[in-house]
Amino acid sequence: MKLIVIAFSLLISSTLFAQSKKELLAENAQLKSESARLKSEIEELKKPKEVAIETSHQRASYALGVLMASNIVSQGGDSLDAEVISQAFLDFYAKKNLKINEQECMPIAQQYMQAASEQKAEAVKKVNVQFLEDNKTKEGVKVTASGLQYKVVSTGKGKAPVATDNVTVHYTGKLVDGSIFDSSIERGQPATFGLNQVIRGWTEGLQLMHEGDKFIFYVPQELGYGERGAGGQIPPYATLIFEVELIKVN
């Protein structure tokens, strides 16, 4: 009789355990589903909210934001956290307690931007130096004493200019990544200038040419715009690549 009671008790316990396990599995699956739903909602909330750009007020606001972002990026601040910048704007406009005192902000920002700018400049230097090192070993590329590299594409039989001459040329200027920053060809109008009015790389390089010649110049930053760069298109320490046709010595 005892054995029957024990067996019956074990059967009940086994059944209850199976039911309990089944319920736990169901609850676990439900929790996973709920967790996935919450994660999806959080990701949606993180996405930037689309704002209307319709009224003059909205257009001016957006335009100012673009100009400020462009200024920050041009100074090497493209590594900054845009969401935190937006939050700072919102906190200031809403007159909330700022997480960093306003008087502390300038030195913090200046120190960061200076370091970011220097880091970006070093990275640009490294890429451009390596480009010139690799380029000078390529077939047809010659190097002058100053470090100017050039390649003859085709030759003419006209006059060669001197440093005080004016010349008329067609050209396309590129960075080492292939992006074009200037082109007389795209404008459809040759450029005329004095050889003593341009960067050192041009002054030297064009004196190697004759009317009708087509050269490619690889201008190290020391013979170009150096640490200044030029406008928003030529960064500091950039190597410049010019495809040049000398049309006329004036």
pLDDT tens digits for range 148-173: 999 999 999 999 999 999 999 999 99
pTM for this structure?
0.65
Q: What CATH number corresponds to the domain at position 171?
A: 3.10.50.40
Structure tokens at 133: 């090192």
The residue from 150, 237, 242, 247 that is catalytic is: 242
Structure tokens at 47: 């996405």
The residue from 131, 150, 171, 215 that is catalytic is: 171
177 assigned to active site = no
8 assigned to active site = no
pLDDT tens digits for range 67-110: 998 888 877 788 889 899 999 989 998 999 999 999 999 999 99
What total number of domains does the chain contain?
A: 1
Residue 99 lies in a domain: no
193 assigned to active site = no
Residue 86 lies in a domain: no
Residue 171 lies in a domain: yes
The residue from 131, 150, 225, 237 that is catalytic is: 225
Q: Pseudo-torsion of CA 87, 92, 98, 99, nearest 10°?
A: 20
62 assigned to active site = no
Residue 79 lies in a domain: no
17 assigned to active site = no
Residue 18 — very low, low, confident or very high, per pLDDT cuts 50/70/90?
A: low
Residue 105 lies in a domain: no
Per-residue DSSP letters for 168-227?
Answer: EEEEEEE-TTS-EEEEHHHHTS-EEEEGGGS-HHHHHHHTT--TT-EEEEEE-GGGTTTT
Residue 220 — very low, low, confident or very high, per pLDDT cuts 50/70/90?
A: very high
Q: Please, what's the b/e burial string for 150-189 (b: 16 or more CB within 10 A of its CB; e: otherwise)?
A: bbeeeeeeebebeeeeebbbbbbbbbbeeeebbbbeeeee
Domain encompassing residue 175: 134-249
Residue 31 lies in a domain: no
